[in-house]
Amino acid sequence: MNNVTAKSMFESTIKSVLSKHGKLFEFLSLVSRLYQFKTTNLILIYAQRPDAEMLKKMEEWNAHKRVLNENAQGIAVFVKKELHYVFDLNDTTGELITLEECIQPISDLSMHMDDVYRTEIHSYEKLLLNELEGTLLEEIDEELLPGIFEMTVKSVATIIIENTFQIESSSVLPSDLKWVPSFNSTKIGYLLLSASIFVAREVIKLSKEVQAIEENDVDTKITDVSSDVLQLAEEKLKGNVQENTPEERVVNYLLSVLKEPLAKRILLEEKNFQKCWQYICSVARKQAINGAAMLDDQTVYDLAVTYFETDLESDKEKEIKTSDSATSTTQEFIEKMKQERLEKEKKQTNQLSFLGGDFDEKK
């Protein structure tokens, strides 16, 4: 196969997939098995081997102690704009290969799809409006097109996700796909498929990460899960922390020592930085002398790590939850400290203030 043949196959396959619902569902079934591939290659793979299960280069199969069958047919895909050939699992013989276990869907699938669409796909709408000429969508009011595109992308993505999770009862209705045939040019057809596959891939990827964390074991078949876990932990820590505050300094320290075991603990549902901060405040108050609590920075940092790495005793958690709300925030501590310092003129020798925050408590 050459590039010209591949291009012709690519264009005809897009039109075929989007014009017939049977072809669309068959294609999306393949995508649910091979979603790691780029959209362009998924279209080419479907044109050549719609029932493909697992694809690798010959050398990769050999590394798994499997060899190609005598009649094995290579499947052309693009790698950096050049055609290469991969082979399906069913075209090889040798040691058993374990297919990926069924993934458990993350809760609130629709919410996560909305997030991905809003942050990553929303810009596709402008591209769509520039490619309407000669398509069935050209006759539709432009104000309605973004909504049609979003609904169709999410519906197609949902089918891929449900196939991947092996959900038997689909939530997608035929009416949700009624606009698919209207994407009847190569460019906007590819735009629709590309956006849908991207949304599905991101949700599936997130589900894998969450499942790995909950099992407290990273599945070795998931690529780059470690870095993704660290990123998720970082996002959770930074969530509602304001800039230039003592809390931010603690978060920055946690990020500086962040490794996968600590990241997994941070991602536990019952753990969050607000509770961590309350824990530190509680310890500080217990060490107060004459109403003033002073902890050096490293002690504060160690307390933050301790909170996430250990399971607090129930009575301590209870103490944190029931602590005086008047001293539960940094700002309130700061105001109290100012008042106390005006009265006491307390000296500080070789000790840092509690990360720039103040933790005096009136009696």
344: phi then psi, degrees, rounded to nearest 5 = -100, -25
- Surface-to-core class of residue 118, CB atoms within 10 Å of its CB (0-12 exposed, 13-18 middle, 19+ buried): exposed
Q: Sorting pLDDT into bands at 50, 70 and 90, what band is 342?
A: low
Give the domain ranges of the chain. Answer: 3-94, 109-214, 231-344
Please check the confidence at residue 321 and state whether its pLDDT lies above 70: no
**Planar angle of CA 240, 244, 250, nearest 5 degrees:** 65
Q: Tell me, what's the pLDDT at 32? A: 92
Q: Tell me, what's the pLDDT at 357? A: 41
Question: Rounded to an integer, what distance in angstroms lies between the CA atom of residue 80 and that of residue 363?
Answer: 70
Contacts from 173-181 at CB under 8 Å and sequence distance 24+?
Answer: 174/21, 176/151, 176/152, 177/21, 177/24, 177/152, 179/137, 179/148, 179/151, 179/152, 180/18, 180/21, 180/24, 180/152, 180/156, 181/18, 181/19, 181/136
Question: Rounded to an integer, what distance in angstroms lies between the CA atom of residue 32 and that of residue 50?
Answer: 12
Please check the confidence at residue 42 and state whether its pLDDT lies above 90: yes
Q: Tell me, what's the pLDDT at 360? A: 35
Most confident range, picked from 1-5, 151-155, 255-259, 340-344: 151-155
Chain centroid to Cα 39, Å, comes to: 19
Write the CB contacts of 284 (distance below 8 Å, at least 6 apart in sequence): 293, 295, 354, 359
Q: Sorting pLDDT into bands at 50, 70 and 90, what band is 15?
A: very high
Model-level pTM?
0.57
Q: Tell me, what's the pLDDT at 261? A: 84
Q: What would the mean pLDDT of 58-72 be, rounded to a whole number?
A: 91
Q: Which of 72-76, 192-196, 229-233 has the lowest mean pLDDT?
A: 229-233
Q: Tell me, what's the pLDDT at 330? A: 40
